[in-house]
Each structure stands twice: as C-alpha cells, then as structure tokens.
Chains A and B, each alone.
Chain A
Amino acid sequence: MVLPSLNSFGKNIDVQQALEGVDVRIKKQLADAGLNAAKSAGASYADVRIGRYLNQFVITRENRVQNVANTESYGVGIRVIADGCWGFAATNDVTKEGIAKVAKRAVAVAKANAKLGSAPVQLAPQKGYGEVSWKTPIEKSAFEVPIKEKVDLLLGANAAAISGGANFVNSMIFAVNEQKYFASTDGSYIDQDIHRLFPSFTVTKIDSASNSFQTRRSISSPVGMGYEYLTPMASETIAGITPRYKKRYDILEDMKFATKQAAEKITAKSVDPGKYDLVLDPSHLWLTIHESVGHPTELDRVLGYEANYAGTSFLTLDKWKSGKFNFGSKQVNVVGDKTQVGSLGAVGYDDEGVGTKKWDIIKEGTLVNYQAIRDQAHIIGLKESQGCCYAQSWQDVQFQRMPNVSLEPGKTPLSVDNMIKNVEKGIYIIGDGSFSIDQQRYNFQFGGQLFYEIKDGKIAGMLNDVAYQANTQEFWNSCTQVCDASDYRLGGSFNDGKGQPSQSSAVSHGSSTTRFNGVNVINTKRKIG
C-alpha cells in the first residue's frame, strides 16, 4: 500500500559526509568476517548487507525554507539459514568484531525459530558473481548539487505560484542514495550505488466566500535518476491540455499550469455520477496499476504471509495454474521489470544477490506469472528467483517487494488525441489522487488531480468531485485501447509500505494513455455542518 506519510530517516549529517564512500576492499573484509562467523556458528547459508543510506530533503513553503536535512544510516544486517530456518540480526557496530557477534546472534535466532518446527527453507540456486558492481546511470548526483541551487529552484517555482494567484504553495526535493554492499556464501561480493530523486509540490487556492479550497499537486514522477531530471528538455515534454513529462521535468512550467488549474477547480462543474469511458494518463494510471496489478501478483500475499496487515490476493495459485485466468482484455500485457533505466526499482542485483531481469506477468490478458524471491521460486516451479528481494535499510530483514510492474504500450500507432476523438461520453484523468482497494484487491476507488469531460470526441471542460469505482478483473477487461510507445511514461511511488514492522520501498509503473469503457463514476462532494 502507498503510505500517506514518510518514515523517519536516521541521523543528520553534513553534505560532505554524504559524498564520502566506504572503500570496497574494507567492505569485503568486513563481510567475510560476518560470513565466516555465521558458518562457524552452524549456518548453511549466510548473506551480509553493509548499507549506507543517505537522504536529503529540501522543504519550502511560499517564500521560505522550512527545513534542509541530510541524514545517514550506516550499519550491517546478516541473514542466515541454520537448522533449515531463517535468522536475522543487525548492528551499527561496523567492525569485524561487531559483525562477527551479530552473525552469531542471527544463527541463534534461526536455531530458536527452528525449534517451532516450520518447513525447512528451500532456496532457488544462485551462482556467485564474484566481485561485481552496479550504479544507477545518472548524469549528476543530487547530493553534489549545492543546497542553494535547490532552494533557489523551489523558491522560484513558489514565487510563480504566488504571483499567479495561489494562496499557498508547498514544495520539496527529496534525494536518496543507497550505497549497498552484498556478500553471500554463494560467492558474490556486490557493490551498488543507487540513486533516486523526487521533486514535488502542492498549490492551494482558497475561496473564503464559499468556504472552499482546491489543491493541484505536481505531475512530476519520483525517478531512479540524478539531478538531470530537473533540467527541462522540450523533447521530453508532451504538449496538450497540461504539459506532461517523460525523462525531464519542468517544475516552473508545471507550477504555472497548476496555479491556474487550482483556481479553475474551484468553479469547475461537479460531475454527474454514472458510467463513463475513462481515458487515463500515465501520471494517473501508474497508481491503478500499482494497487490492482502490482500488489495482487506479489507471491507472499498470494500465499498468506501478509494476511494480518496488507491482506491476501484474489489471484490464487489455482487461477495461475489453470493458465486460462482472464485478468484483462487482449490489450493488457503487463511485465515485471527490475532493469528499466530511470525507474525506481532498477538495480543490478536484488538484496539477496540475484541479477535482475524482466518477465511477463499478464500476457494478452491472461495471468502467467507472479513476483518471487529465492525461497518462493520452487512454489511456482521456477528454477531461479525473479530478483524481487529488498530491505529498506541494513537493520531490516529483506523480503519480497514489488518490482516495476508496467503496462506495455499498444503495438498499433495511436495518439492521445486520436483516442479521445472516438469517445462519446468520457472523462480524461491526469495525475494521481485519492486511492483505496480491498485486502484481496477486488474493489477499488481512485480520484485524480485533473478531470476533463469528453463529449462527442472533444474536451468539453473541467470537472470536479470525480472518483471511479470498479472491480479489478472487470476494469482490466474493459480496457479497449492503449496508446503507442511514443506516449509511454513512468509514474511511481517513493513510499510503498508492506510488512510488520512496516518497510517502505520505491517502485515505478509505466504505461501509455489507456482507455477503459463504461466505468462507474461517483460524485464525492459533501457538505458538513
């Protein structure tokens, strides 16, 4: 589930500290100390993750900076199998002695859990890669850009909102750098340097006479990129009723449009409830894909491991085994992908040392696969993991997390304008809004940022108070058209929550603009007092 707020992020540090790495030779020696101690204590398998997790926030409102913070979290987590059972322990004492001690504790935990008599862990085979490395392909690290440049960018955008008539504006830049070193008894020593960036804002327009207010959030995406995402580029902008962005984002331009649109929302027509054909922009559809395709195809949910919190899944194993389960229409092709450049989920290797890949989950509407990790692969007849293992930090145990799950673009050339031309009664939705789905992922409801009425093939004006409700299987079977690859864009969540205690992960979802026919739309306007 996408969490409504951010987690805490470790201790504050200065910028210079964030740029200093830890020598890979030292990390190998430290990791070997952990692996050897675990084996000596009786582990049949062990992995060591030495992690340095850096975050930077620049947060502003109107004409002032609210907060600038650099945080660091550095430590080591060790996971072992002993007596057929998993054990995990972690420490921020990153010395050979500290790591050896925590390795023994992890083995002790595994042996204690083994006495409760659960089935022995079956790990899919994984070859050792030796000493390898991987880095997010970035042009400019956000951590190397001076704070002043970020502050100036945000305050400049805020000024455009206020001078354009907005009453309030909040904006922020959030940068993440995970410096992760993984070593396992399989013979892998993997050094990775992972970067993510999320610029965002919210503009608010107040109408005190009617005691109403409207907001318009940025339609930027969180990305697996460096600061280059914030350098506007005409070729990466799609013109239209509002600009939409591919691999580069123009915060100033989006802010100007948002300011006008927040005001327009105050007087926009309240939607008449009923059935509409929906034309969903990728800045909106990513969240529907996340909740209704991404989560129900997580194998741990299917098996029941999330039953007490996030829930289970309607996509039970019997449906997959039949090979005929009709998830959606023939237009629906969904892939799992941990390799996509610029995405939040892209890494070279997952957090249990598996090289990443791309695979089919829904093929021409039929459920063909799930998302799995090493100890689940055998359950669905796989000979190797799909590389979906992740932990939010060194002190949390890694478990199955969603890869990028994306809708493939249509193969027939189709533009957004041509899609809209054929819609008689519809709504065009841009940007993500309110979201909710049941614990087995059948019934969902989504809002958005911008809603435009489509009448007889033309945009007839802005609507407000729109949310659509549907059943997942019916909704994806109502998919009639997907625009071609020229419209393909990524959206995503910086803060997807799962597990107890809850862990956060970042994941992208790509699509082109897509049409769904005859979806139930409700009006969300209420009055209190």
Chain B
Amino acid sequence: MALYTKEQAQALLKKVLSYSKADECEVSLFGNEGGNIRYALNAVSTAGDVSTTGLAVTSVYGKKAGSASIDEFDDAALERVVRRSEELAQFAPQNPEYMPMLGQSEFKDSITFNANTAAMTPESRAEMVGKSLQVTKDANLLAAGFLENSSSFNAVMNSKGLFAYNKSSDVTFSVTTRDAGGTISGYAARGFTDVSKLDTASATRVATMKANASKGAKAIEPGKYTVILEPVAATYMLENMFRFDARSAEEGRSFLSKKGGGTRLGEQLMDPKVNIYSDPFNPDLPGSTWGGDGLPRERTSWIENGVVKNLSYSRYWADKKGVKPVPNPSNIIMDGGTQTLEELIKGTEKGILVSRLWYIRMVDPQSLLLTGLTRDGTFYIENGKIMFPVKNFRFNESPVIMLNNLEALGKQERSISVESYRSYLIPPMKIRDFTFSSLSDAV
C-alpha cells in the first residue's frame, strides 16, 4: 500500500512513537504512486510504474539528533528503526542550531489531491501519448516526449503532540517536435493537479505549429532587444530568483543583501507591476498547508508592487533575530495582466518572441546574472506582427534587472520549469533591453 489515508497514517505513526525512549521523537511517513511514458522518434522508448513507501524517525537527546529510515512496516522493523535513530543520536555531535520540536497547530485541509490524476493507469497514459503521436504523424514530424503522473502523501507526528497529513497529485507533459533532418523544432509543456485539464493533442499541436513556423530561421545581430517571454520561458528564468531567504541575505551573500549590512526588506527592488506571492489555497496551483518544520502555511507576499515584502525565516534564524518564523513557500504565483500573448505581440514595435529557454546557470549570485539560450521557437516581431523565425541566442541577464525593465504582463497561466518540472503560475511578460550576447546554430 503506497497511499495511506489520514487515519491509517495516524495509527501507524502512533505505534512507532510508542517505541521511543528519547527526549524528543519525530516520525514521518511518505508514499508515492505513479508512472511515466517516454517516447522518441515517434515510438515509446521506456515506460515505468513507480510505487514507494518509507518511514523516517528522528530521535533527539538534548541538542543531539539522529535519523534513520526504513521501508518495512512489521512491528519488529518499526521498533528497530526507532532504536537505530536513538543510537545515532547518542553518537551525534551537538547541533547548536537545533530547535525543540513544535506541538500541535491548526492545519487547514489542503486541496492538492485530485482523484482523476490518482486514477491514471498505464492504459490511460498510453492513450494520452497515442493522441500526441497522432498529431505529429499527421504533421509528418517526429515527436519526443514525456508524460508522468504521481499521487503522494506525507504525514508527520512527534512526541510533543504534532500531527499533520497531506495528499497531493500532479501530472506533467512535455513534447518536442522536429523534422527528420533536424532543421526545425517546437516544444510545449503542461502541468496540472487534475489530469482532466491536460489535452496532449492540443499541446502537441502547439509544438508542431512552433516547429513549422521555425523553418528558415534567420541570423540577426545579438544585442539588447525587447523580448516577450512566454510563460514556460519566464518560469525557468524566474525560478532561479525564487529564494527569498533571510539568513543568506543577512549574512551578506544574496541578491537581497543590503550595502553596509542587513537585507533589502521594504525596498523597491523591481517595477511596481511585479507582485509575487505564495498561496496554498489557489485552486490552479494548490500547495501543502504545513511545512516540514511543523509550521502552518498561509498566503505570503514576497514582492508587492515591486517592494520586497517578506523573507523566509527558519525557526532557528527567526529565534536568533527575534522575529516570527516565515516558512518556505509551497508554491509561487506571479500576478499577470489582462492581455493575451497575441495582444502583447500586437503592441510591440520591434522585439523577439521567446518560446523556451534552455540550460540556465548562475553566473554571478550577487546580481543573479544568469546565462542560457533560447530554444524551440524564437521569432522576430515588427510593427505588432511576427515577421520571421530567428536563430537562437545566448543571453546573459539577471531576473532582477529584467523585472525592473518590465513593460507589460499578459494573462497568468500554470507553467512548468523545463529543468525542475515544478509548477508555477506565471504570466507571459514583455521586457525591454534584454541582453542577448551571442548567436547559436542549434535547432
């Protein structure tokens, strides 16, 4: 059994805690069920089903903690894992940053689980991939793609009386369409909590449209351009900025550090149109209502009208600084505007439409300077119209500078990062003076 109900999890965790002899003990139980299909050259290359369950115990004596985990659940095994964690704790060095465990809090029920996604089977996955393949075969293109779904739960209980449980679902789909000669390429990616919202054929049609439109890409000079980043491109770029950590800022080693010491909390760091927050109750991107440290999660604003509104404080760092702890976000949402992508293009005199970015890596953590490349559909815009496809560019740009150069935001949508596969709610965005530093021959 990979997915325990709240009651089943509670009963098992109680039993494990009853074996504890330590000053403090925390037990967590987690499980995952899901599967995937990978395909390339219009045929399935691998397919798999995954089902895992595990249990981890942390025992504490004073400020010495030890952890052990197990994937067997008979009584003898459960007692053994508690004893092992106690032995490790006895031999562990003192951790001066250890914080005593929290007692029970009120956690609201989350909306992260979806029965449709949990009911997916190898057959339903094959059917969804079949629809994608039909689109590319009809278009005389080759598809490579990946469909993955998972349903998981996690529960935690400690000797101070805390108990929390959450169950969630997620499905992601991505597809790349190319011709046999490798002269064109298009891409689409989708992610949902509810699989009934996922239309693999429609996403694949977007990828084939992008691929066909990219034929005959022209080289234009690199330099500073107005760009329109589609949500999948903007998401990957901004994901590198979504670490609003107070400790590294106060230590002086973050883009949120202030000259002379301290943080940039309360400062206008970006264009006033920028609003970034977390909200576990957003129906399009639900998140867990509690964090691993046992703190409840509520809606938290990180950037409000371009001003740094909150930083996350771990329990240790908050205690040291005499402030209230602020848990890490369980999701990230950026407010959008009312314009469609087409309207953003229509309002652009000269610019570049970027479908996807690739291989983004940090160049300088002080300015958050990132480098990476455009990929799978890059187009030149003039007088409100897409004029022709252009060759890919390498960029060197900071998301903080980028969000200072914000011209307009489009309608927000759920998007996935093409590297981490995490979901976000991000709008398409029009940015002036985006720095392309060289050309790439890659298709």
Alpha-carbon distance between A253 and B93 when the two chains are bound, in angstroms: 26
Task: State which of B8-16, B355-363, B379-387 sits at the interface with chain A.
Answer: B355-363
Query: A307, B176: Cβ atoms under 8 Å?
Result: yes
User: Which residue from chain A places its CB closest to the CB of B269 in the assembled complex?
Assistant: A529
List, in ascending order, chain A residues with CB within 8 A of B47's CB: 109, 112-113
Tell which of A64, A304, A395, A501 touches B144, judged by Cβ atoms closer than 8 Å.
Answer: A304
Interface string of B407-443 (1 = CB under 8 A from A): 0000000000000000000000000000001111111
List, in ascending order, chain B residues with CB within 8 A of A439's CB: 358-359, 373, 375, 442
Task: State which of A32-40, A172-180, A217-225, A520-528 sits at the interface with chain B.
Answer: A520-528
List, in ascending order, chain A residues with CB within 8 A of B340's CB: none
Q: Chain B's nearest CB lies how many Å from the CB of A374?
A: 15
Cβ-based interface call for B235 (8 A): no
Interface residues of chain B: helix, strand, loop or mixed (majority): strand
Query: B361, A4: Cβ atoms under 8 Å?
Result: yes
Query: B261, A308: Cβ atoms under 8 Å?
Result: no
Task: State which of A201-209, A380-388, A406-414, A418-426 sits at the interface with chain B.
Answer: A201-209
- Given A314-B442, A436-B361, A500 contacting B44 (CB threshold 8 A): no
Alpha-carbon distance between A151 and B94 when the two chains are bound, in angstroms: 13
Tell which of A64, A113, A308 touches B146, judged by Cβ atoms closer than 8 Å.
Answer: A308
Interface positions, chain A 423-466, Cβ under 8 Å from B, are: 434-443, 445, 447, 465
Cβ-based interface call for A167 (8 A): yes
Interface string of B356-394 (1 = CB under 8 A from A): 001111111011110111010000000000000000101
User: Which residue from chain A places its CB closest to the CB of B401 in the assembled complex?
Assistant: A528
- Given A308-B176, A501-B148, A112 contacting B371 (CB threshold 8 A): no
Cβ-based interface call for A134 (8 A): no
Tell which of A13, A210, A304, A526 touches B142, judged by Cβ atoms closer than 8 Å.
Answer: A304
Interface string of A502-529 (1 = CB under 8 A from B): 0000000000000000001010111111
Query: B258, A116: Cβ atoms under 8 Å?
Result: no
Interface positions, chain A 112-128, Cβ under 8 Å from B, are: 112-113, 116-119
Alpha-carbon distance between A12 and B82 when the two chains are bound, in angstroms: 12
Tell which of A303, A397, A442 touches B46, judged by Cβ atoms closer than 8 Å.
Answer: A397
Query: A314, B441: Cβ atoms under 8 Å?
Result: yes
Interface residues of chain A: helix, strand, loop or mixed (majority): loop
Query: B93, A151: Cβ atoms under 8 Å?
Result: yes
List, in ascending order, chain B residues with CB within 8 A of A68's CB: 92-93
List, in ascending order, chain A residues with CB within 8 A of B404's CB: 528-529
Query: How many of chain A's residues have a CB under 8 angstroms from any CB in B?
Result: 75
Alpha-carbon distance between A440 and B54 when the two chains are bound, in angstroms: 40
Alpha-carbon distance between A337 and B102 when the two chains are bound, in angstroms: 53
Cβ-based interface call for A1 (8 A): yes
Query: A14, B438: Cβ atoms under 8 Å?
Result: no
- Given A314-B441, A526-B369, A213 contacting B375 (CB threshold 8 A): no
User: Which residue from chain B places its CB closest to the CB of A17 in the assembled complex?
Assistant: B84
Q: Chain A's nearest CB lies how many Å from the CB of B132?
A: 11
Alpha-carbon distance between A525 and B253 when the two chains are bound, in angstroms: 16
Tell which of B187, B251, B260, B441 touches A209, judged by Cβ atoms closer than 8 Å.
Answer: B260
Q: Chain B's nearest CB lies how many Å from the CB of A169?
A: 12
Cβ-based interface call for B48 (8 A): yes
List, in ascending order, chain A residues with CB within 8 A of B443's CB: 440
Q: Chain A's nearest CB lies how many Å from the CB of B25?
A: 15
Task: State which of B34-42, B192-200, B288-296 sits at the interface with chain A.
Answer: B34-42
Task: State which of B64-72, B159-167, B224-232, B325-333 sits at the interface with chain A.
Answer: B64-72
Query: B252, A213: Cβ atoms under 8 Å?
Result: yes
Q: Chain B's nearest CB lies how many Å from the CB of A477?
A: 15
Q: Chain B's nearest CB lies how many Å from the CB of A341?
A: 32
- Given A213-B253, A312-B182, A442-B441, A208 contacting B261 (CB threshold 8 A): yes
Residues of B within 8 A of A (CB): 36, 38, 40-41, 43-50, 54, 56, 67-71, 84, 87-88, 91-93, 95-97, 122, 126, 142, 144-146, 148, 174-176, 178, 182, 185, 187, 251-253, 255, 257-261, 264, 267, 269, 358-364, 366-369, 371-373, 375, 392, 394, 396, 398, 400-401, 404, 437-443
23 contacts between A and B (CB under 8 A): A11-B69, A109-B47, A113-B47, A119-B43, A208-B252, A208-B257, A208-B259, A208-B261, A212-B366, A304-B178, A305-B41, A305-B144, A307-B176, A309-B146, A436-B361, A436-B394, A438-B373, A447-B363, A501-B148, A524-B369, A524-B396, A528-B255, A528-B400
New contact pairs (14) apart from A208-B259, A213-B257, CB-CB < 8 Å: A11-B56, A69-B67, A86-B46, A89-B48, A147-B91, A209-B260, A211-B258, A304-B40, A308-B145, A438-B375, A439-B373, A526-B398, A526-B401, A528-B400
Residues of A within 8 A of B (CB): 1, 4, 11-14, 64-66, 68-69, 86, 88-89, 92, 109, 112-113, 116-119, 147, 151, 167-168, 204, 206, 208-213, 303-309, 311-312, 314, 316, 395, 397, 399, 434-443, 445, 447, 465, 467, 469, 471, 499-501, 520, 522, 524-529
